[in-house]
Structure formats: structure tokens, C-alpha cells
């Protein structure tokens, strides 16, 4: 399956995407961490920034996208490296590979079965270590709902040769209180879980299309033939603007879940 992630598209809204990351980093306690991993590191820019801010001695960024990793590897240096891998199945390499920080920014929603994934990640954390995760929780916004509607129309529905790819946010992300319960069941000594609305004022409502082209719509690009990519985006744009209005500027409220926990 081809890599449909486009770093230049994703980073069109780099400033807006960075704020939740820094809010997450603010939850991390202390610095001079010995070992950390960033699961779903993307282009590595924020991974590098976190390693610097937290004075991490040994930071590893992991991502499944060759295009993202190609950019990330240019940031490699002693104590900072980037490798390919599946974050959903990732776990540490035993006692000698335990982490002081497991970080996942805007990546966990792409994988299913969060209770099992978080249990594996928690097992990878050394005593006294920390888990810090941020993920979108806006599956009820028109930007997501309209994509599902368009996927059910022709010629796209037939081109999927089965059900359209589900919205990973709707399918995988749990309620904030469920994450709090999971962390307690894992034995967290302390935890912080919150739902936060990020207020993005975009130049126009059409910018929402550019936003999701770099994230949520990629699942359709994986499943559709290349010649249907642009028609799908055009149909999505027309339908979305009919729903949210074609206006400038546009206020885009974006819900996210931030969670942090420390291990005994």
C-alpha cells in the first residue's frame, strides 16, 4: 500500500498543530530524562523540540510513514534517532529498554483497541516514568461527518470494493473518563486527563479542507485509485462548504484529549 502522507500538506497548519503538543509537554514533570520514545513522530520537528526541552539523553522517534521519516531522519543526531515501526504493536525491549517517558502526540487515534495498546505502552515505562498522550476527539464535527457522507456516494462507494474506511477518531477514541479509568486500572500513581477545545481562526472555511487533506482524508486516499483522489476532495469541499458555509474568516473549534500519568 502506497504512503499517502504528505509532510508539506500536514505542516500547512504547523502552528495550530503545535499548541496541543506543547500543552502536553507542559504536563511532563522534570527534565534530564534518560530515555524517551515519541510514537508517531511525523517529520520529527516536535520530537527534536521535546528532546531539547526535556533534556532527553536518548530519544527515539517512531513512525510508519516513509515520507515522514525521510524528513525526520535529517534531524538525527547523537541521542536522537528515528526508525520505522507500528506504534499500535510497539513495546519496549525488556527491563533494559524501559522508558522514562512514552510520548504520543496526535497518533494514538490511528490505531484500534486503546485499552490493549495503552497496557503495552504502560509496560514499557520504567518505575517512576511517565506517559503523555494527545489525540483529537472531534469526530462529531462536520469536517469528519461530511467525509463519511461523501464516501457513501458514487463513484467512491463502488471504488472502495467494500465499506468505506471508517473514521479512526469515531471508531477508536474513547471518552475522557474512560481513559482516566484505564490509567487507574493500570496502576497510575497520579494522572491528569482533560478534554480541551482549541480555538482555531482560519482564513476561510475552505481552509478546513486543506486541514483534513493532511490528516483524516488520507484514509480515503489509501483506498481509492489515484484518479479519484481529486474528485473526492472536490466533492468533499462542495458538501462541506454547503454545511458550514463559505465564509472568511472561519472559527474551527477542535476538541482534543490530553492525558498524562506517572508510574509508581
User: What does the alpha-carbon distance between residue 117 and residue 123 come to, in Å, rounded to a whole number?
Assistant: 10
Where do the DSSP E strands lie in 40-172?
A: 58-63, 80-84, 99-105, 125-136
What pLDDT digit, counting tens, does each position of 200-256 carry? 999 999 999 999 998 899 999 999 999 999 999 999 999 999 999 999 999 999 999
Tally of CB atoms within 10 A around 43: 25
What pLDDT digit, counting tens, does each position of 152-204 carry? 999 999 999 999 999 999 999 999 999 999 999 999 999 999 999 999 999 99
User: What does the alpha-carbon distance between residue 127 and residue 220 come to, in Å, rounded to a whole number?
Assistant: 41
Query: Residue 122 to residues 85, 99, 114, 154, 176: CA-CA distances in angstroms?
Result: 18, 9, 12, 44, 18
Mean pLDDT, residues 73-91 taken together = 95
C-alpha cell at 160: 472502495
Give 248: exposed, middle or buried? Use CB within 10 Å, 0-12, 13-18, 19+: exposed
**Chosen CATH of 7-263 out of 3.40.50.150, 3.30.1370.100, 3.40.50.1100, 3.40.50.2300:** 3.40.50.150
Local structure of 261: helix, strand or coil: strand
What pLDDT digit, counting tens, does each position of 44-56 carry? 999 999 999 999 9
Q: Domain residues of the chain, as ranges?
A: 7-263
pLDDT of residue 1: 42
pTM: 0.91
Residue found under cell 522508558: 99
Amino acid at each position: 500500500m502506497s504512503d499517502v502522507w504528505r509532510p508539506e500538506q500536514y505542516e500547512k497548519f504547523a502552528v495550530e498543530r503545535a499548541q496541543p503538543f506543547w500543552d502536553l509537554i507542559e504536563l511532563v514533570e522534570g527534565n534530564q530524562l534518560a530515555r524517551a520514545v515519541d510514537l508517531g513522530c511525523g517529520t520529527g520537528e516536535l520530537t527534536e523540540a521535546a528532546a531539547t526541552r526535556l533534556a532527553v539523553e536518548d530519544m527515539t522517534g517512531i513512525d510508519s510513514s516513509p515520507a515522514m521519516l525521510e524528513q525526520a531522519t535529517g534531524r538525527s543526531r547523537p541521542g536522537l534517532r528515528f526508525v520505522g515501526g507500528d506504534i499500535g504493536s510497539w513495546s519496549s525491549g525488556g527491563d533494559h529498554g524501559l522508558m522514562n517517558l512514552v510520548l504520543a502526540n496526535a497518533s494514538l487515534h490511528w490505531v484500534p483497541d486503546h485499552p490493549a495498546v495503552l497496557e503495552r505502552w504502560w509496560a514499557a515505562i520504567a518505575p517512576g516514568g511517565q506517559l503523555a498522550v494527545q489525540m483529537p476527539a472531534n469526530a462529531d464535527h462536520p469536517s469528519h461527518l461530511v467525509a463519511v457522507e461523501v464516501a457513501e456516494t458514487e463513484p467512491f462507494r463502488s471504488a472502495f470494493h467494500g465499506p468505506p474506511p471508517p473514521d479512526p477518531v469515531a471508531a477508536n477514541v474513547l471518552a475522557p473518563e474512560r481513559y482516566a479509568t484505564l490509567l487507574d486500572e493500570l496502576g497510575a500513581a497520579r494522572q491528569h486527563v482533560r478534554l480541551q477545545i482549541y480555538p482555531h481562526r482560519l482564513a476561510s472555511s475552505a481552509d478546513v479542507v486543506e486541514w483534513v487533506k493532511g490528516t483524516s482524508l488520507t484514509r480515503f486516499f489509501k483506498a481509492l485509485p489515484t484518479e479519484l483522489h481529486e474528485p473526492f476532495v472536490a466533492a468533499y469541499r462542495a458538501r462541506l462548504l454547503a454545511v458550514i458555509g463559505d465564509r472568511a474568516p472561519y472559527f474551527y473549534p477542535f476538541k482534543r484529549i490530553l492525558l498524562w500519568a506517572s508510574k509508581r
